[in-house]
Amino acid sequence: MTRFRFALSLSLFAIALSLLGAACGSDAQDDRLLVVTTVAPLRNIIEEVGGDRIAVVALVPEGTNSHTFDPPPSAVGEIEKADLIIINGLNLELPTLELAEANAADNTPIVLLGNLAVSPDEYVFDFSFPEEDGNPNPHLWTAPHLAVEYAEIVLGELTKVDPEGANYYSDNADLFIARLWELDEAIAEATATIPLAHRKLITYHDSFPYFAPRYGLEIIGAIQPSDFSEPAPREVANLIGQIRDAGVPAIFGSEVFPSEVLETIAKEAGAVQVSTLSDDDLPGTPGDPGNTLVGMMVENVRTMVTVLGGDASALDGFDTSSTWQPSE
């Protein structure tokens, strides 16, 4: 009986230690900074800098129109718990910004990356974002050199909230920024192979206004109107004529905005239709090696260059995995 009680006591002690360890592990995870953001590319940028010292929640589901997304009531709980809120800004996610301003803790910073990364004289107003509406094109992150700006801002904000992690965040940011500059060089090399007459982009959703000029591409137009509806028949006719006149070889659709009118325009204009470009839907699923902003842009550029008659081999074997390193 004594031996049985001793064995039972040891078993109970082992179980208690196991439960204590699990609780400690849970507490350790809860000690991470909670960063709330919106779209997947921002989630990835924040993760690349924050690594395992942070937990990131992206409120906008991938494959959703971030311009019109209205966060559900459940988002309030995440916002209330957040240590840091980082959104794109430039009026991309106004309902989310309003919800954050109404529900975030008093000491929780709300950071608008786009508003900090470029000055008003650098804003792009264009086809889907006319200046009279007052909303600049917010798609900065598709341009690697501006993604660098985002990463540097994230580094500064994480360091303010968590000074103890400053060196870790800085090391991660250095790795990520180096990868972005490598991507910038590879994109420049690939796009330089596109025949001069074909260096023209017309897209359904207006996602590449900061990307295109850097690599010598001209954006001829965007099919989607500023209210994100389908274009009217007169607009469709004008676009068809514009594409014919410009000799645009292809028009690019979006996974987030499937459109039957895109096929009609391409057929009538004699252009190839490609509907696989993405501006905020990362490849694969979270946790996959290529579920990154870099992975998304490698796929986008490979598609653009190939369809426009260039050679995308500069992107072959490009490492699209995450760069952040585990903390010690």
Tell me which amino acid residue 75 is: A
> What is the C-alpha separation between 30 and 294, in angstroms, rounded?
29
User: What residue spans define the domains of the chain?
Assistant: 31-185, 194-315
CA distances from 88 to 27, 64, 100, 204 (A): 30, 15, 13, 21
| Residue 176, burial from CB neighbour count under 10 angstroms (0-12, 13-18, 19+) | buried
Strand boundaries in the chain, DSSP class E: 33-37, 54-58, 84-87, 110-112, 200-203, 218-222, 250-254, 272-277
Written out in words, the top-level CATH class of the domain with range 194-315 is alpha beta
| Token pair 């676009």 in the structure block, residue | 239
Strand-pairing partners, residue 280, are none
Structure confidence at residue 12 as a pLDDT band (50, 70, 90): very low
pLDDT in tens, 237-274: 988 998 899 898 999 987 666 667 888 899 999 999 99
pLDDT in tens, 15-37: 444 444 444 444 445 689 999 99
Q: Rounded mean pLDDT of the chain?
A: 89
Residue 314 and residue 186 in contact, taking contact as beta carbons nearer than 8 Å: yes
Q: Among 57-71, 145-159, 171-185, 226-240, name the one with the lowest average pLDDT.
A: 226-240
Residue 173 has pLDDT above 90, yes or no: yes
SS3 state of residue 113: helix
Q: Kindly state the average pLDDT of the residues 170-181.
A: 99
pLDDT of residue 242: 87
| Token pair 């000055």 in the structure block, residue | 119
133-151: b (≥16 Cβ within 10 Å) or e: eebbbbbbbbbbebbbbbb
CA distances from 273 to 43, 258, 318 (A): 30, 12, 26
Q: Kindly state the average pLDDT of the residues 121-131.
A: 85
Residues 6+ apart with CB under 8 A from 190: 301, 302, 305, 310, 311, 312, 313, 314, 315
pLDDT of residue 238: 87
Q: Kindly state the average pLDDT of the residues 307-314.
A: 98
Instruction: Kindly calculate the radius of gyration of the chain based on its CA atoms and give it in whole angstroms.
Output: 23
Residues 6+ apart with CB under 8 A from 186: 298, 314, 315, 318
- Strand-strand pairing, 110-112 and 200-203: unpaired
Residue 169 and residue 50 in contact, taking contact as beta carbons nearer than 8 Å: yes
pLDDT in tens, 191-241: 999 999 999 998 887 899 999 999 999 998 888 766 667 788 888 898 899
* Closest of 134, 145, 38, 52 to residue 88, by C-alpha: 38
When comparing pLDDT for 328 and 295, which is higher?
295
- If you count DSSP H runs as helices and E runs as strands, how many of each does the chain have, helices first? 10, 8
Q: Among 98-107, 151-160, 268-277, 317-326, name the one with the lowest average pLDDT.
A: 268-277
**31-185 and 194-315: same fold?**
yes
Judge if pTM exceeds 0.85.
yes
> What is the C-alpha separation between 202 and 34, in angstroms, rounded?
39
pLDDT of residue 16: 46
> What homologous superfamily is domain 31-185 in, according to CATH?
Nitrogenase molybdenum iron protein domain (3.40.50.1980)
| Token pair 């006149």 in the structure block, residue | 245
